[in-house]
Amino acid sequence: MVSARVDRGLRAARLGLSINVGLVALKLVAGVAGRSHALVADAVESSLDVVSSLVVWAGLRITARPADEDYPYGYGKAEALATGVVAMLLVGASAMIATAAIRDIGSPQDAPAPFTLVVVPAVVAIKEAMYRRACRVGRETGSLAVQADAWHHRSDAITSVAAFVGIAVAIAGGPGWESADDWAALAAAAIIAFNGFRLLRPTLADLMDRRPDGPVVDRIAAAARAVEGVRATEKLRVRKLGTTYFVDIHVQADSEMTLFDAHVLSGKVKGAIHDAVPDVAGVLVHMEPYCF
């Protein structure tokens, strides 16, 4: 099941990569030929989409590797690292776009060519469709890297919308309104930076082994307590690696229980946890005597 989820994430990353390459070329040619700084900035942001898709693809490939002697817990952290790189690329892209926009706002420039308005709506439609698909795959697989790539698509769509507005205002306003193109690029940069920092939070949480959000921990605890013979549980620790979880749990049972029976009970607890949360890759059960 884990392999199937990773395969879905890899397919989504490959699709995003191939489409982004074409969009970068389209926007860059249209932006240069049409004298649109916002569209050129949009092309730069899209070029980082290509890099981010490559990073996500590489991260998921590494994550799919089975655990070995050197990495007994597997390679799940590679996905969080890939997500962090994508988030920082978003922040870097926003800084590049903002710097160029601020530099060009006060300088004399020509208005963008009207034909650039034809390019942008098609780009927005394609990127929004890519965002929705990648976001769905990311949620269904639990992959932060794919979700980060999805937001990179959404950010690209946002910069394209901002470019469209800026170009339209610059053309419609006539002389004196040429800088609207750059103001639009500056607004898009702020939105991209926000999305980049927003993605960093869950990435850092995974890298620091923070307790997972949502009901997964409660489901694990409930499954363990429901096993016949379990008197109580304590010291439940859950950490997320890639799309899977690793669990450490202390289980209290009858103090008169034999070592063999305690071993059997721990196996039942592991099975119950796996049944309740199939994304759990490993469970370590520490048996203790129940204290009244």
- pLDDT score for 10: 65
Q: Whats the size of the chain, residue-wise?
A: 292
Give Cβ neighbours of residue 111 (< 8 Å, ≥ 6 apart): 35, 170, 171, 174, 175, 177, 178, 181
Q: What is the mean pLDDT of residues 258-278?
A: 93
pLDDT at 9: 65
Q: Between 193 and 246, where is the model more confident?
A: 246
228: region left, alpha or beta (phi > 0 left; psi from -120 to 50 alpha): beta
Global pTM reads 0.64
Q: In this structure, what DSSP letter does residue 214 have?
A: S
From the list 29, 45, 1, the residue with the least C-alpha distance to 191 is 45
Q: Where are the domains of the chain?
A: 2-207, 216-289
User: Among 8-22, 113-127, 237-251, where is mean pLDDT lowest?
Assistant: 8-22
Query: Is the confidence at residue 266, as pLDDT, over 90?
Result: yes
What CA–CA distance (Å, rounded) separates 44 from 97?
A: 8
The pLDDT of residue 289 is above 80: yes
How large is the average pLDDT for residues 221-234?
A: 92
Q: What percent of the chain has pLDDT over 70?
A: 89
Class of domain 216-289: alpha beta
Q: Would 2-207 and 216-289 be classified into the same CATH topology?
A: no
Alpha-carbon 266 to chain mean position = 35
Q: How confident is the model at residue 219 (pLDDT cuts 50, 70, 90)?
A: very high
Superfamily of segment(s) 2-207:
Cation efflux protein transmembrane domain (1.20.1510.10)
Tens digit of pLDDT for each residue in 46-68?
776 677 777 777 777 787 788 88
List the single range of 128-137, 225-234, 275-284 with lowest mean pLDDT.
Answer: 128-137
How far apart CA 250 and CA 236 sit, in angstroms, is 7
62's CB contacts (< 8 A; 6+ apart) are 75, 78
Alpha carbon distance 292, 289 (integer Å): 10
Closest CA to 219 of 267, 272, 266, 277: 277
Hey, is 237 helix, strand or coil? strand
Distance (Å, whole) CA 207 – CA 186: 32
What mean pLDDT do residues 235-253 have? 89
Task: Determine the Cα–Cα distance for residues 224 and 226; give it in Å rounded to an integer.
Answer: 5
Provide DSSP, 83-113.
HHHHHHHHHHHHHHHHHHHHHHHTS--PPPP
Q: What is the mean pLDDT of residues 114-121?
A: 77
Q: Which is more confident, 241 or 174? A: 241
Question: What separation in angstroms does the CA of 265 have from each of 179, 252, 273, 284?
Answer: 71, 10, 12, 13
Q: How confident is the model at residue 291 (pLDDT cuts 50, 70, 90)?
A: confident
pLDDT band at 33 (very low <50, low <70, confident <90, very high): confident
Question: Is pLDDT larger for residue 265 or for residue 78?
Answer: 265
> Nearest-5° angle of CA 130, CA 136, CA 139?
135
Task: Average the pLDDT over 20-42 and give the result.
Answer: 75
Other CB atoms within 10 A of residue 163 CB? 33
User: What is the pLDDT at residue 178?
Assistant: 67
Name the average pLDDT for the chain.
80
Contact 55, 13 (CB under 8 A): no
- Give the per-residue pLDDT at 45: 66
Buried b / exposed e across 15-37, counting CB within 10 Å, b at 16+?
ebbebbeebbebbbebbeebbbb
* pLDDT score recorded for residue 292: 65
Give pLDDT, residue 108.
56
